[in-house]
Amino acid sequence: MDWKTLLNAKRFGVLDASELSESRTPFHKDHDRVIFSSSFRRLERKTQVHPLSDNDHIHSRLTHSLEVSCVGRSLGAQVGEMLEENLPAHITPADLGAIVQAACLAHDIGNPPFGHTGEDAIRHWFRDGKNAAFLSGLSDSQIKDFQTFEGNAQGLRILTQLEYHRFDGGMRLTYATLGSFLKYPWHSGYQDPLKGEKFGVYQSELSFLNEIAQEVGLIKLDEDRYCRHPLVYLMEAADDICYAIIDLEDGVEMNLLQYAEVESLLLGLIGDDVPASYFKTTAEDPARRRLAILRGKAIEIMVNSVAQAFVEQEQVLLQGKLSGDLISLADPKVSECIYQAKSLAREKIFKDPKKALIEIGAYTTLGSLLESFLTAIDEVLEGGQISYKSQRILDLIGRHAPQVGWDKYRAYLRVVDYIAGMTDAYAVELAQAIRGLRH
């Protein structure tokens, strides 16, 4: 692969790609398009780790995505400065930072209500034998799309189909940004959910995958399967850095972790380079204020280390042969800190009983919605008289609701689009209303 092709500024879904502007490059416009989208805005009410939290300091998917984008911009710009001689003359370090920033902003845009628990709830419902009749008539590959529902694939669908220019290019982002977003450039047939593997494209967007891969020059590994864009590794590292550290801050805020254990972890990475401002705080200051100082320094160290690892691996990345991620190739202190942070979160945060109870409820909520909406869709597809209840349910989807004559796969995707786009609170409210549990 080569940087000139990888950093393609042409727009998906646009024939005339001329953009005359000295102040805002196409990549900066990508950033703005994601920021102003309704799908991005709804992330404010979607779970990051703690569902339906009433603590204003706890992260949502929106605040997490914003923080990841900041780290991603720093990583991209720093790599751009270090590799400036290898980049096309018209590409600046700021451009590289903007591409990674936009991809980071969108990296969770396809997540359903309740985050990863919501993903699993949707998969579980479609795998449940009691719901097998709903999948009759679908091909094996189409069934797998639903039974292995994936937020990354839903995200690509939002970017290329659902937002702004609906089913006509979506957000019309640059190919460089879309390539950097495609964390898993292959479809569900190439992953094993039992091994925790993921995919990034539904059958419905396969032609888009091939188009994006061709435009940015991704190396083809198999039919409808490509190597990653090098900048995906920076997006992935930014995500790892943020959720590993920020999860711990939220843990302290919710009294699931002791301040001292998080402080010890961060100081182990920072060493003697502790900011002077930290020594001006006392135990009387809020823990979040003291941790913010340490977190800032820790992230700076991590960004420097990951950027250096990327530059060292540039040729391997361009060959599409990097094994693993950049965090594992960073300074051992950095990779060990992130590993310990994730381990601490698994043991003391993710097992919180209150969190578990709400997540269990997510299965009932999303299952109830899927059953109600797909039952209504089946009535439409059968072509007969539609019940009053089903018609009212279809009215919620609006003018983009499936119509008589549609194929089942396309119709079901519209339902999943609608449900996956809901916020946590709206999903709960609507499920309760459908079941007659609230006025």
Pairwise CA distance, residues 49 & 52, whole Å: 10
Percent of the chain with pLDDT over 70: 94
CATH of the domain at 292: 1.10.3410.10
pLDDT of residue 196: 65
Q: 93 pLDDT exceeds 80?
A: yes
Same domain, 259 and 186: no
- Examine residue 412 and state whether it is found in any structural domain, yes or no: yes
DSSP codes joined into one string, 1-69 = --HHHHT--PBTT-S------SSS-HHHHHHHHHHTSHHHHGGGGSBSSSTT---TTS-BHHHHHHHHH
Same domain, 325 and 400: no
- Examine residue 127 and state whether it is found in any structural domain, yes or no: no
Q: Which two tokens stand for residue 410?
A: 């396309």
| pLDDT tens digit sequence for 319-364 | 999 989 999 999 999 999 999 999 988 888 777 777 777 778 889 9
Q: 400 pLDDT exceeds 90?
A: no
pLDDT of residue 18: 60
- Examine residue 121 and state whether it is found in any structural domain, yes or no: no
**For residue 302, what pLDDT band results from cuts at 50, 70 and 90?**
very high
Domain membership of residue 191 as a residue range:
3-15+22-112+140-226
| pLDDT tens digit sequence for 251-265 | 888 888 888 999 999
- Examine residue 163 and state whether it is found in any structural domain, yes or no: yes
Pairwise CA distance, residues 391 & 421, whole Å: 20
CB neighbourhood size of 367 (10 A): 19
CB-based contacts of 403: which residues, under 8 Å, 6+ apart?
380
**For residue 20, what pLDDT band results from cuts at 50, 70 and 90?**
low
Q: 142 pLDDT exceeds 80?
A: yes
Same domain, 7 and 64: yes
- Examine residue 78 and state whether it is found in any structural domain, yes or no: yes
Count of domains observed in the chain: 3
Helix 61-82 to helix 93-106 angle, to the nearest 10 degrees? 160
- Examine residue 126 and state whether it is found in any structural domain, yes or no: no
Q: Quick check: helix, strand or coil at residue 169?
A: coil
**For residue 438, what pLDDT band results from cuts at 50, 70 and 90?**
low
pLDDT of residue 48: 66
Q: Quick check: helix, strand or coil at residue 252?
A: helix
Same domain, 27 and 69: yes
CB-based contacts of 281: which residues, under 8 Å, 6+ apart?
289, 290, 293
**For residue 135, what pLDDT band results from cuts at 50, 70 and 90?**
very high
CB neighbourhood size of 207 (10 A): 11
Q: Which two tokens stand for residue 213?
A: 């891969």
Same domain, 75 and 209: yes
Same domain, 54 and 157: yes
CB neighbourhood size of 232 (10 A): 23
Same domain, 182 and 93: yes
- Pick from 226, 254, 271: which residue ends a domain? 226
Same domain, 337 and 255: yes
pLDDT of residue 344: 87
Q: Between the CA of residue 229 and those of 1, 164, 313, 321, what are the distances in Å?
A: 9, 25, 13, 11
- Pick from 202, 226, 250: which residue ends a domain? 226
Lowest-pLDDT range, 14-23, 88-97, 230-239? 14-23
Q: What is the mean pLDDT of the chain?
A: 91
* Greater pLDDT, 244 or 36: 36
pLDDT of residue 356: 73
Residue 51 half-sphere exposure toward CB, CA atoms < 13 A: 26
CATH of the domain at 409: 1.10.3550.10
Backbone angles phi, psi at 222, to 5 degrees: -165, 180
Same domain, 295 and 401: no
**For residue 384, what pLDDT band results from cuts at 50, 70 and 90?**
confident
pLDDT of residue 145: 96
CATH of the domain at 104: 1.10.3210.10
Same domain, 256 and 342: yes
**DSSP E strand stretches across 97-187:** none
Same domain, 314 and 368: no
Backbone angles phi, psi at 60, to 5 degrees: -105, 180
Same domain, 255 and 316: yes
- Pick from 191, 226, 261: which residue ends a domain? 226
- Examine residue 362 and state whether it is found in any structural domain, yes or no: yes
pLDDT of residue 288: 83
- Examine residue 77 and state whether it is found in any structural domain, yes or no: yes
